[in-house]
Chains A and B, each alone.
Chain A
Amino acid sequence: MRSSRLTSLVLLGGLLAGGLVLDAADEPTPDTTSSTPAVRAGIAMPAAKPASTLSSTWYCAGGTASEGGMADHVLLIANPSDEPRRATITPLLGSFAEPPSAPEDTAEPGATTTTAGAPTSTAPTSTTTTLPPPEPTIVDLPAQSGIDVALSDLVDAPVASAIVEVDGGEIAVEHQITDEREDGGGRATAPCSSTAASEWSFPWGITARGARELLVFMNPFPDDATVDILLATDEGTREPRRLQNLVVRGRTSLGVFIDDDTRRDHLSAQVVVGRGRLVVDRIQTFNGTDPTYEGITLGLGAPTAAEVWIFPDGNVDEGITEQVVVYNASEEVAEIDVVVRLDDPDTNGVPEPFELTIAPNRFSIVNLHDPDPGAGPDVPERIPKGVGHSIVVESLNGVPVSAERVVTRSEPNTNLGVSATLGAPLAAPTWYFPGGGVSSERETYLTIFNASADAIASVDLTALVGGEAVPVEGLQGIEVPAGGRLAIKLSDHVGDGDDLPVVVSASGPVVVERGLYRVAGRGTSLSMGIPLAVDVLVPDPLSG
């Protein structure tokens, strides 16, 4: 009896005690990174789906489709795949929101204010008329080709957006806007969005005199959406009453001029969708009141923040300014390094990173073009003029941010304009550029950044011409050093081709940016390409 009692006590008790010890040892540690949103191709930035996907859906929000509109909206659809596709284009009609009846007020530095008093109810403060969406238009997309579709050919509306649905993957869609007003000018091209989201951040924006900032809210879904817009200025955050609980009817678009509510040299906008999901584009126009800013820009906001933003292209020179604007929409202070990597670092050196500490809901600007106070005859500028560079914005403490780079070109340059683009939070081997081309009036630059820290990237460029993928002469197997970049002037390799979709294929993860420059006059547009969501790399901010 004694032995059986001992056996049972030892075995049963041991099992229970062992389990308890093991359980305690396996106590899960708190996941400190769980608050960081995942960066996913197609969500964090527009991306083309793989060939095998069932369908691709693109949302092109910002633009107009009326005669003399400020942003005549043209869709640029590329089908680099080997299969013909069919696209269904569903335009969404929209209008502009009524401007506020009262002028903006000022805010104390650091304060959060709501103009015209806080809303007393949750009732919508602004609405648009429900407009039935027009019938969809179906267009064929031959293999290895691109097409342009002007929305003004389909609809006539003050604001017009479009849903592009294609029956397969490997489809890239950009859109282009052209200011067709008499006093306007300029053209901008940017990727459409491959997702709708509930938050959008716009690090940069100008509502000063002569500048207009238009946010276009596209609601492709059946139900109404509501949004709240928070403006971060250098004096604090503001929540204009008109921009709170703003209703965007289902399957419509709504354009809202932010400058109707506030006038600032700089502000960041944070769009929070209270109900539903939206796609939000920003159209920024300048009439030349400030000679530094001329032209028009187009770009999506950032639907998710990220810890790394890569800008392959960069340059400061006479008449060229370059800003990096970092916006922290989180609830924590962000410690940021803006790392500028000069071409040929052996010769040009390695500048010290720009260190930023950004409070929640605040932005910080790095003016790369500003003279370096420490520079002198024997000390070179931190960012020397005329030296090409790439920029990497890194969060050192894991607080994700959004970062935008703004480049202005003014005299003495012949191609004028302003361009703003978000960086790329990821790298991929394949990038698509549905728009752009080379002509006597336009130059195209492609800048390739090798995101690998230790491997040279071999890059091929292919143009989609006449239903064929044509390798671009001289741009096959070109090498980009690890962590380095390579800028290519496309006109040096191809002849005339105003509409010339391009595919960049690399042996490793790269980021490719395109610059479109009007040869003479307003029209500068820099934007990231559209990566193919295959073998995507999300860079680690601490890996260097």
Chain B
Amino acid sequence: MEPHTPGTDASIDEPLATHPTAPAVVAVVVARDPGPWFEAAMGSLADQDYPNLSILVIDAHSADEVKPRVGRATPGAFVRRLDEDPGFGAAANEVLEVVEGAAFYLLCHDDVALEPDGVRLLVEEAFRSNAAVVGPKLVDWHDPRRLLQVGQGMDRAGYGVPLVERGELDQSQHDAVRDVFTVPGPCTLVRADLFAEIGGFDEGISDFLDDVSLCWRAHVAGARVIVAPEARVRHRDELARGRGHDERRRLQARHRLRIVLTCYGPLGLARAVLQTLVLNVAEIVYALLAGRRKRVGDVVHAWTWNLRRLPELRDARRQVKAFRNVPDSEVRHGMSRGSARLSQFLRGQIGKGEDRFTGLARSGRGAAGVLRSGTLRASATVWAGVVLVLVAGSRHLLTRGVPAVGEMVAFSLSPVDLLRSWASGWRTAGLGSGAPAPTAFGLLGALGLASAGAMGVLRTVLTVGMIPLGALCAYRLPAPTGSRWAQITCLLVYVTVPLPYNALAAGRWGALVLYAAAPLVLGILASASQVAPFGPVGAAEGTAPPGRSWRGRALALGLVTALVATILPVAVVLVVMVAVALGLGGVIALNPGGGLRMIGAALAASVLAVVLHLPWSLDLILPGAPLSSLTGVSRPEGVSDLASLLRFEVGPLGSAPLGWCFLVAAALPLLIGRAERHTWAVRGWTLAVVSFGAAWVVQRGDVSVALPEVDVLLVPAAAGLALAAAMGVTAFEVDLPGYRFGWRQIASGLAAAAVVAGVVPVLGASFDGRWSMPAGDHDRALAFIDEENDDAPFRVLWVGDPAALPLDGWALGDGLAYATTDEGTPTLENRWVGSDDGSTRLLADALTLARSGQTARLGRLLAPMGVRYVVVPERLAPDPFANEEIPVPPEVSATLAAQLDLEPVDVPAGLTVFRNEAFFPTRAGVPASVDLPVTGGISGALPLDLSDMPAILTGTDGHLRWSGPVDDDTTVLLSASHSGSWHLEVDGSSVDSIEPFGWSTGFYVARGGDATLRFRTSPLRYAALAVQALAWLWVARTVLRRRLDRSPRSGGPA
């Protein structure tokens, strides 16, 4: 060992000189741009009474070399300067390379000062307790009476459990030597052989929690870790201060996860990962509720950062495995049970110093801030209750799946098939058409890919998940008011409105999606108005939220509208209706400011949504397209009166008297609200009244044009009332104190009671576990259709009340609708039908002919369309799953029963199914001897009996591509609308197409051979879709970027 003189870098291969009478201790101080305290810190080491102490200072590339300062403070110390700052752990690990023969290392930050007996006490305790790692009592640098740390416990997810309250007065109450999981990182005595065995610090951890990692691995190696409080060390915590709060939290999150991923054995790892995941999800939810988006980012970053370093993690795990002497079970024995994080949260300790509400308190907002930080826990409690009720009420839907009823078709197609359908340019709905595919195919296909093909889970999320999403958006809606209670009230009112549960019970997907988005739409519109509390206009000085860019609001609203319109196309109109109603509300409140901005934003959003859905949207809005393709087929006059609509009683939930609670709760601000609270309450009420009115008109059947379903129209009413109720709470907090005691206080009490009472029906409805949805769907009853395996492709024609059809359809008249599916029950491809121009209308014509008694051979009329079954559902699901009848007019049943070629099939009650005896396959080979008419439409089929025509081209070669042998003199008849994009090749030669029946697609094959029929998609279509996809990405990115650029404390609903 070569002695090193101050000012000289330590040699790599020569041990330091040590005192011969005591175990050699090398104090390793990592200096990183130390402040003026450094000399004091070094001096404390120089003053140690330990007889065999050497000092090694690792200069981690400080801007100003520390060597001179070390020389002045501790003349005997050695200095080693590094070319870069690798972090504390990696820098300290240098000791392994430059020191030999030491018994202990004392690993120190550059901001600690030991009492003169510190090292001695630590070493003595190490020998006394046979400990490998010993930590001192850490006290405040400036006020040594205040405790900072006396070691920590640890839970199994890597969260520390402090043994002392930080800042607690030191009265020797923690001075007992005890085993701890981790010792204070700023000053740690570790046995040199252990340090070498475990490889020193984990160099993947650069600052923060490196001490935890060291101690955890020491435990794994079988070492004892204790704290010796008699050894007292003052600490400045300069490292944390230097990094800042956000970075520290971020680093801690990722390092904590790294420790968990590296220190557990395989089984323990699985358990810990699961526990961590659960905690992280909960943390994300909490962070979202608290409006702390950065916290969400921390959690996500922790996972992505670690997952990007999988090889490194594997190496680290191998290293741990190499020195593991103790199983995980024993290590866990020394850990705290349960979750330290959760315990802290429940004790209200979570994130002290990091919680924004505590921050508010610190910033001097005094009692109000304290009150609000208290409501955060109330929020959490309410949310816990809401989540509990929603989960309990949806438990059968979550565990057994959502039945495919109403609009909630099964996601039976794979994501790839969906994307192919989106891209192909051929719609299978009806008799097929070259109409653009709904954007939903592309979006859901992409989502399906993102969810690794778990389409069932995706379907559950996109249906049942809409309720909590709507609740979350409702909770965020009144956030700009700054009242947590307003948020809670908005949440409670919105989540207890019967609409979403009735929508679930009726299989109304569109209404559910709108329910999820309505508060968000409302919030963005409110923000676009720039009116207080959602904007600076009219806000009191000092409380004005920052104004948002109108363009940004419109863009965000357009994106939201487009997303909703994916499922519910009429959303592009509804968003304008909402804006107009809000603007009108301002006029009624004699405070019209911002109304035009809202309407303008809504119009812009609507246009943007239409553009984003190009080219699909053209199919819905171009002249000639029936309004029903946008709104859905209107049902005949409904059964609900206005009173029922006001209670949202459009299903099993919502009966009086509790059904009136929402109106009572929302009425309060109209009575006591002032200023913007009153204005926004009136706006919410106006929106509600407009929605109720529209729903009432639809229900009465007063208008002949197709309008959206009643529950869709009522969704804005629910959002409006929730907003009004929230304003009521704000008025209670702000305005009521200005009144003398009287009826207003009583009214407030009534409103509060109404909010609470309104919860009761939902609680009751949650017991069945499925929100009154049928326990099953048509699948089982119609399984025989799906199982047809005679290679003859066919269609199923569905006729019935739109509310009973398990797919979307076209208007047939008398409030009926019709639709088709391919070879069985509906899939996502059948959910959106578009306009029925073209040959699809022939289906309706055939039905109309039969209904008017013009034929008793409906089957023969339908045969060229490939219709093998006619299904008439008269319940949401067949017996025994549903009881409520949704009948078709008796004349329809009678008509179908009177057809000579339709044979009834035995199916459960609630369904009527006919098998078409005249059916022939949608890809049939018709011999030349049969004179296929090329004109005459459907009537041309009446004299023809083609029921024995064989199926051909039965081999599927891909999407919209079939092959097989074709005989000579055969017409290949494809029961699909005529399109020039269909191509038939026989033995490599193209065959000209013909147009049998005047609408169908056919190919006359004079000389048979191996044939392939396929649909050729135009390259232009691919280009258009690429543009569409890019447009979506650009809008989403822009909106997201603007959102992320906003200050985290600016609040806001969007």
Contacts and interface: CB of A to CB of B under 8 A. Distances in A.
B897 A23 contact: no
A77 B670 CA distance: 77
Contact of B696 (A3, A11, A12, A19): A19
A55 interface: yes
B232 to A, nearest CB: 65
B588 A276 contact: no
B903 A49 contact: no
Interface in A152-170: 163, 165, 167
A196 interface: yes
B686 A12 contact: yes
Contact of A4 (B589, B671, B903): B589
A163 B700 CA distance: 44
A23 B685 contact: no
B4 interface: no
A277 B854 CA distance: 18
Nearest to B899: A221
A8 B589 contact: yes
A83 B898 CA distance: 27
B872 to A, nearest CB: 15
Contacts of A220: 900
B927 interface: no
Interface string B664-677: 00000011001100
A15 interface: yes
Nearest to A55: B855
Contact of B670 (A5, A23, A26): A5
B943 A167 contact: yes
A54 B678 contact: no
A42 interface: yes
B238 interface: no
B901 A55 contact: no
Contact of A7 (B588, B852, B901): B588
A222 B900 CA distance: 7
A149 interface: no
A8 B584 CA distance: 11
B856 A55 contact: yes
B854 A19 contact: no
Contacts of B679: 4
B686 A16 contact: no
A165 B856 contact: yes
Interface residues of B, number: 41
A277 B890 CA distance: 14
Nearest to B590: A4
Interface in B835-863: 849, 852-857
Given A12-B686, A223-B903, A277-B897, A49 B853 contact: yes
B125 interface: no
Given A1-B674, A42-B853, A8 B685 contact: yes
Contacts of B641: 23-24, 27
Contacts of B902: 222
Given A8-B685, A55-B942, A19 B693 contact: yes
B682 A54 contact: no
B588 A11 contact: yes
B939 A196 contact: no
A16 B720 CA distance: 15
B532 to A, nearest CB: 15
Given A4-B589, A8-B588, A12-B682, A55 B854 contact: yes
A440 interface: no
Given A15-B693, A23-B642, A9 B670 contact: yes
Interface in B806-855: 849, 852-855
B646 interface: yes
Contact of B857 (A1, A3, A55): A55
A429 to B, nearest CB: 19
Contacts, number: 93
A12 B943 CA distance: 63
Given A7-B590, A15-B689, A20 B642 contact: yes
Interface string B909-930: 0000000010000000000000
A419 interface: no
Nearest to A53: B854
Nearest to B637: A28
Contacts of B898: 195-196, 277
A54 B898 CA distance: 16
Interface string B566-590: 0000000000000000000000111
A390 to B, nearest CB: 30
Contacts of A53: 852-854
B692 interface: yes
Contacts of B176: none
B591 A16 contact: no
Interface residues of A, number: 36
B911 to A, nearest CB: 15
- In this complex, the member of A54, A165, A223 whose beta carbon has the largest number of chain B beta carbons within 10 angstroms is A54
A54 B942 contact: yes
B657 to A, nearest CB: 15
Interface string A51-65: 001110100000000
B700 A221 contact: no
B868 to A, nearest CB: 14
Nearest to A42: B853
A8 B857 contact: no
A222 B916 CA distance: 10
Interface in B875-921: 897-904, 917
B753 interface: no
Interface in B928-968: 939, 942-943
- In this complex, the member of A7, A12, A22, A24 whose beta carbon has the largest number of chain B beta carbons within 10 angstroms is A12
A23 B942 CA distance: 49
A24 B696 CA distance: 13
Contacts of B670: 5, 8-9, 12
Interface in A6-54: 7-9, 11-12, 15-16, 19-20, 22-24, 26-27, 42, 49, 53-54
Contacts of A22: 642
Contact of A276 (B696, B852, B897): B897
B643 interface: yes
A11 B683 CA distance: 12
A57 B854 CA distance: 9
B643 A20 contact: yes
B644 to A, nearest CB: 10
Given A1-B674, A54-B855, A276-B897, A19 B642 contact: yes
A54 B588 contact: no
Interface string B633-644: 000000001110
21 contacts: A1-B678, A8-B588, A9-B670, A12-B670, A12-B685, A15-B693, A16-B689, A19-B642, A20-B643, A49-B854, A53-B853, A54-B939, A54-B942, A55-B857, A57-B856, A57-B857, A57-B900, A195-B898, A221-B897, A221-B900, A222-B901
Given A15-B689, A54-B849, A277-B898, 10 more contacts: A8-B588, A9-B670, A11-B588, A12-B682, A23-B642, A23-B696, A53-B854, A55-B942, A165-B857, A221-B900
Interface of B: 588-591, 641-643, 646, 670-671, 674-675, 678-679, 682, 685-686, 689, 692-693, 696, 700, 849, 852-857, 897-904, 917, 939, 942-943
Interface of A: 1, 3-5, 7-9, 11-12, 15-16, 19-20, 22-24, 26-27, 42, 49, 53-55, 57, 163, 165, 167, 195-196, 220-223, 250, 276-277
